[in-house]
Amino acid sequence: MKESQVRQNKATRQWVIFAPERRRRPTDFMRPREGRTREPEHDPDCPFCPGNEGRLPDIIEEVRDARGRWLTRVVPNKFPALTPTGELARSREGIYLAMGGFGHHEVIVETPLHNLQPGQMSEEEAGGIVRTYLSRYRVLTEEEKTMMVIVFRNHGERAGTSLRHPHSQLIATGMVPHHVRWREEEAERYFDEWGRCVFCDILEFEERAGLRVVLANASFLVFVPYAAEVPFELWVMPRIHRADFGDMSEEEARDLASALRGALGILHRRLGDPDYNMVVNTSARYRAGEPRLHWYVQVRPRLLTAAGFEIGSGIGINPSLPEDDAAFLRGEGKQ
């Protein structure tokens, strides 16, 4: 019997169980070829495809290419989780606290093409997505009542989306979510102890070790984290230490587009277009200048289902080792 190992996520101090007895081969995760539906380039029933603009509630913003054709489009979420009219004042309901549902919920249509995923885009097209992320992130962060902006991408039904047209979302909230506070507090505690940023230390260590690195460019390192909670989890981490996603330079934005395109392309090719969630982990608004924080992008493939133990303990059970996952994604060995 192969022994399990338990590893600590350096950033959050959460433990993750690596259970090789529960291991599957990477190919067991791959979507069977017949299960994949080839999407058409244009779907007349899709609200995000060109020609169906009448079905959009509004177009908030567009990025256009040199010839004036739209690359990305920002539209309101038709079924918003939060709305700008909500009130942030807390109210009591017996022993409980509640507040109105203040926030913004936007959708970024990433391309006019119904079947073009970021991993298959040109640098210019992927660049359009990152420019749009930044533009909306900055606009929503400036809103007086915003405390936090979360940028995320759900790909595939197992990742919680049924809309197939490539898109991302932004939600601006009027409170700081617990997860964010927790990450910030842990990073601050580390800084107070070591006088260094925990994410800078992770990045430096991973680059030197090399074992878990999947790709790298001038501004970003993409790697499977040491205590990945799920198989093939990826962190896309900026080399430049900065708390706030919105502070990126144009050059960094180009490199981010290239890193995301590369990382998502590798997942697509090596695992047969897996479902995944992608999320930008950045500082809460009023910590944007905080020297002890460091933003990054997290990609979590949805290959397994979290069950009762994970729900009760918060401890992930990951059947595969990050080193093996990284080697497989780099195209080494057969496994």
- CB of residue 77 to a second copy, shortest distance in Å: 9
- CB of residue 168 to a second copy, shortest distance in Å: 9
Between 5 and 27, CB nearer to a second copy: 5
- CB of residue 118 to a second copy, shortest distance in Å: 14
Which helix (H) or strand (E) segment is 312 a member of? helix 308-313
**Class of residue 5 by CB neighbours under 10 A (exposed 0-12, middle 13-18, buried 19+):** exposed
Between 254 and 292, CB nearer to a second copy: 292
Between 248 and 304, CB nearer to a second copy: 304
- CB of residue 55 to a second copy, shortest distance in Å: 17
Q: Which residues of 261-293 are buried (b: 16+ CB within 10 A; e: fewer)?
A: bbbbbbbbebbbbbbbbbbbbbbbbebbebebb
- CA–CA separation, 275 and 36 (whole Å): 11
Note the helical H segments in 159-241: 178-194, 198-209
Residue 232 identity: F
What is the total residue count of the chain?
335
Q: How far is CA 217 from the centre of its chain?
A: 19
- CB of residue 206 to a second copy, shortest distance in Å: 9
Selection from 115, 117, 121, 119 nearest residue 266 by Cα: 119
Between 21 and 331, CB nearer to a second copy: 21
Between 308 and 331, CB nearer to a second copy: 308
